[in-house]
Amino acid sequence: MVTGHFQEYEDEYLETLYEFHEKRPGTRVRNGELAKYLDVSPASATEMVQRLAKNGFVDYVPYKGTCLTDKGLDHGMMMKRRHRLAEVLLTILPFEGDVHETACRLEHAFNDDLELCISLLLGNPTIDPSGRNIPPANSRIADKIGLAPKFSSLASLESSNSGDIIMILTTAGDREILEQTGLKIGDKITRNDGELWCGDKLLQIDDSLAEKIILRCI
């Protein structure tokens, strides 16, 4: 098992190699390609690839290139999952910065507990804001997701299901609209036949705002 003590620059190489794997499964990546993608010198890329090979994360053949071992694939997939989860989180927060660059920094702060928490909070999404697949959780996380209480955004609440509002992630502009709905933390919401109800009140709420209202499903 790879621990959270792995260096950030090693994470970046494995995450990048996983991106190449997504596009060209089983194909070796030449050091020149890797260096260009990461904006480093070919010598630096070669040195890092050799280090990763020594630690069992990649299979490196001089002049032919590098591919991930099973161990490296697991780690690269984990880093890419954490990056894309961070992007999903940032898009529903009232965040106005650079989503991609910030997600690049956040992914290195994740551990298993935080990944589990964010996965549950976001409803274990499978697609990131750019429409790319979010890699599945590893077995350590997946087992815990299966046993944990289910969370959902209001927009994703399934038909005939109910949930209690536990979090509302809004901007100042959203708050004025939210006040008009009367919704607050603790309210129970039910979806029936495609319609959202809070008690006996039919809700008319925009999908973009509904994505920012988080429920603990009952």
Domain at 21, CATH number: 1.10.10.10
User: Are residues 158 and 213 both part of a single domain?
Assistant: yes
Answer yes or no: is pLDDT of 172 > 80. Answer: no
Mean pLDDT for the stretch of residues 134-145: 92
Note the Cα 118 to chain centre separation in Å: 8
User: How many domains is the chain built from?
Assistant: 3
Instruction: Give the end of a domain, one of 103, 120, 149.
Output: 149
Over residues 158-173, the mean pLDDT reads 86
Residue 81 domain flag: no
Answer whether 128's CB lies under 8 Å from 178's CB. no
Last residue of a domain, one of 97, 114, 149: 149
| Angstrom distance (rounded) from CA 176 to CA 102 | 28
Confidence label for 4 from pLDDT (cuts 50, 70 and 90): very low
Query: 158 and 144 share a domain?
Result: no
Q: With a cut of 80, say whether residue 70 has pLDDT above it.
A: yes
Residue 139 DSSP label:
H
Identify the CATH number of the domain in which residue 165 sits: 2.30.30.90
Are 144 and 156 within one domain? no
By DSSP bridging, strand 213-217 and strand 162-168 are antiparallel
Residue 142, domain member (yes or no):
yes
**CA separation for the pair 57, 53 (Å, rounded):** 6
Determine the pLDDT at residue 80: 97
- Whole-number average pLDDT of the chain: 90
Whether 142 and 92 share a structural domain: yes
Domain that holds residue 167: 152-217
Question: Other CB atoms closer than 10 Å to residue 185's CB: what's the count?
Answer: 11
Over residues 72-119, the pLDDT tens digits come to: 999 999 999 999 999 999 988 888 899 999 999 999 999 999 999 999
Looking at the domain assignment, is residue 1 inside a domain?
no
What's the rounded Cα separation, in Å, for the pair 65 and 76? 17
Query: What pLDDT sits at residue 121?
Result: 86
Cα–Cα distance measured from residue 12 to residue 133, given in angstroms and rounded to the nearest whole number: 19
Confidence (pLDDT) at 3: 46
pLDDT value of residue 50: 96
Residue range 115-124: mean pLDDT, rounded: 90
User: Whose CA is closest to 153, among 87, 77, 70, 89?
Assistant: 89
Domain C-terminal end among 132, 149, 166: 149
Residue 77 falls inside a structural domain: no
- Element housing 165 (H / E): strand 162-168
| 14's tokens | 């494995």
What's the CA gap between 4 and 49, in Å, rounded?
20
Question: On the CB side of 48, how many CA atoms lie within 13 Å of its CA?
Answer: 22
- Mean pLDDT score, 158-163: 90
Helices assigned H by DSSP within 62-188 = 70-92, 99-106, 112-121, 139-147, 172-181
Residue 2 belongs to a domain? no
